[in-house]
């Protein structure tokens, strides 16, 4: 069985993430979506909320897709999951430089696991979770970048925390 891991913070999950998940699921027998906390980021949603959000969003995608959290080195997580492939999405040249460096480091940690890069759909390339949150915090409509359920969760979280900025 070919197992792939698609890691990320998914804070929040975007249509770009969904595109990579749909396409990645076709490349492997099982796709494990590893939801992690990046200590260099300040997540809007906690781990359990992000895992639940991703599970809800991928429920209708065909294939053997599992969503789980992890808080370890990616290659250790991939090894535990029995993965032979890491799936990564690329949007732009800046992504490639970062991902190329990470793939090289990961190969040094475990050369039995390959990294596969998928180019984001051209219409989804500009989408980044960080920008989605920023647009929402300033009262912009994020409906073009996330599903209605995720949009609602982001808008509600901003209201709960009193994060809405700009003129009202």
Known active-site residue 42:
no
How many Cβ atoms sit within 10 Å of the Cβ of residue 4? 23
In terms of Cβ atoms closer than 10 Å to its own Cβ (0-12, 13-18, 19+), residue 12 is buried
Cα separation values, 11 from 26, 34, 39, 114, Å: 24, 13, 13, 25
Known active-site residue 157:
no
Tell me if 67 sits within 8 A of 55, measured CB to CB.
Answer: yes
Which listed residue (17, 50, 133, 151) is catalytic? 17
Which listed residue (2, 26, 41, 112) is catalytic? 41
**Tokens read off for 45:** 């949603």
Known active-site residue 26:
no
Distant-in-sequence, close-in-space partners of 154: CB < 8 Å, separation ≥ 6 = 12, 44, 132, 133, 136, 142, 146
Known active-site residue 133:
no
Which listed residue (50, 129, 133, 151) is catalytic? 129
Provide the strand spans (E) within the chain.
Answer: 3-8, 30-35, 64-69, 85-90, 114-119
Active site residues: 17, 41, 91, 129
């Amino acid at each position: 069985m070919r197992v792939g891991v698609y890691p990320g913070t998914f804070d929040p999950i975007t249509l770009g993430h969904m595109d990579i998940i749909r396409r990645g699921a076709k490349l492997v027998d099982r796709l494990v979506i590893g939801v992690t906390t990046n200590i260099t980021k300040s997540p809007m949603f906690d781990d359990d909320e992000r895992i639940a959000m991703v599970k809800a969003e991928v429920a209708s995608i065909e294939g053997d897709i599992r969503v789980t959290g992890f808080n370890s080195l990616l290659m250790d997580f991939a090894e535990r999951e029995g993965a032979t492939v890491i799936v990564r999405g690329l949007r732009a040249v800046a992504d490639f430089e970062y991902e190329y460096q990470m793939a090289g480091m990961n190969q040094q940690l475990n050369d039995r696991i390959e990294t596969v890069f998928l180019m984001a759909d051209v219409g989804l390339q500009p989408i980044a979770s960080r920008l989605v949150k920023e647009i929402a915090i300033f009262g912009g409509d994020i409906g073009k970048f996330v599903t209605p359920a995720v949009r609602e969760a982001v808008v509600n979280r901003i209201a709960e925390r009193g994060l809405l900025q700009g003129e009202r």
